[in-house]
Amino acid sequence: MNFLGHFLKSSAKENVMFFGRLRKITSLKAYNKDIYHTAFTHRSKNLKDNDGHLINFERLEFLGDSILSIVISSFLYERFPFAKEGTLTKYRAKIVSRENLNQIGQKIGLIGFLDQKSKVNFGKNIHGNLLEALVGAVFIDRGYKKCSEFVMKKILGEHVEIDQLQHTVLSYKGFLIEWGQKTKKSIKFKTNSDNGLDPEYNYTTKVYLDEKQIVKARGVSKKKSEEKAAKRAFHAMNIKSRING
């Protein structure tokens, strides 16, 4: 079955609307329309091509992740000519963090392109996954130059505050530990399983500054609990977020 044929079963008007909305996001005309439909096809649809291969956005997501890294690395290299390798790596990590890509994908409204007739829990990372898949689709359809322009103008230009990167915290726990080492303060995290009745909270984390407990937080996972507690501690101690790379 021709992949596009699957979507042409829907009205021509819906198809026109799909690519009209997409062009507003990318500012690019779509030539290979199949690839964009693939970019917004979730594996739960269980679509297959004539050879029995699954059709979904996961391969494009993998490709888009790599393209984003290349374009953003190149941009940061030019934008911060005197920054050290470690600093550039931190800046890139902040831009392509799962949390940040999820926020951008959600702001753009990419989930609206998915067929949501079936009641599927796509998970909170769906927004970032779709953003990466879209980048991969643009690369396949229009090549590196146009894809790079899309990333620079529509993602970095509209959704990333480049001048604030040095103040953006990627991991509050990591930041606190580094801050403690530089200021010679003792920062300790104590995390225990939480056997309460609320399934949303499986762990409780307490943060200690020089052996004194300053905050505690609960989370569904050990990592989330610690990060939540670290963020609270960060604000409670009123720490400035810049640590020189």
Q: Report whether 205 contacts 229 (CB < 8 A).
A: yes
- Report the C-alpha gap between 22 and 145 in whole angstroms: 18
CATH of 3-166 among 3.40.50.1820, 1.10.1520.10, 1.10.10.10, 3.40.50.300: 1.10.1520.10
Q: What are phi and psi of 205, to 5 degrees?
A: -120, 135
CATH code of the region 172-236:
3.30.160.20
pLDDT of residue 132: 98
What is the mean pLDDT of each successive set of 10 residues along the chain, which is 245 residues long?
Answer: 51 84 96 95 88 92 98 96 91 92 95 77 91 98 97 95 78 85 91 76 90 90 88 84 50
Instruction: Give, to the nearest 10 degrees, the angle between helix 222-236 and helix 172-183.
Output: 50
pLDDT of residue 6: 53
- Active site residue: 61, 65, 141, 226, which one? 65
- CATH 3.30.160.20 residue spans of the chain: 172-236
Give, as one character, the DSSP assignment of residue 124.
T
- CATH 1.10.1520.10 residue spans of the chain: 3-166
- Report the C-alpha gap between 66 and 136 in whole angstroms: 9
Cα 145–147–152 angle (5° rounding)? 95
The reply to whether 115 belongs to the active site is no
What are the residues facing 54 on neighbouring strands? 48
- Active site residue: 51, 99, 115, 132, which one? 132
The reply to whether 198 belongs to the active site is no
> What does each C-alpha distance from 220 to 40, 113, 193, 200 come to in angstroms?
29, 29, 10, 5
Q: Name the pTM for this structure.
A: 0.73
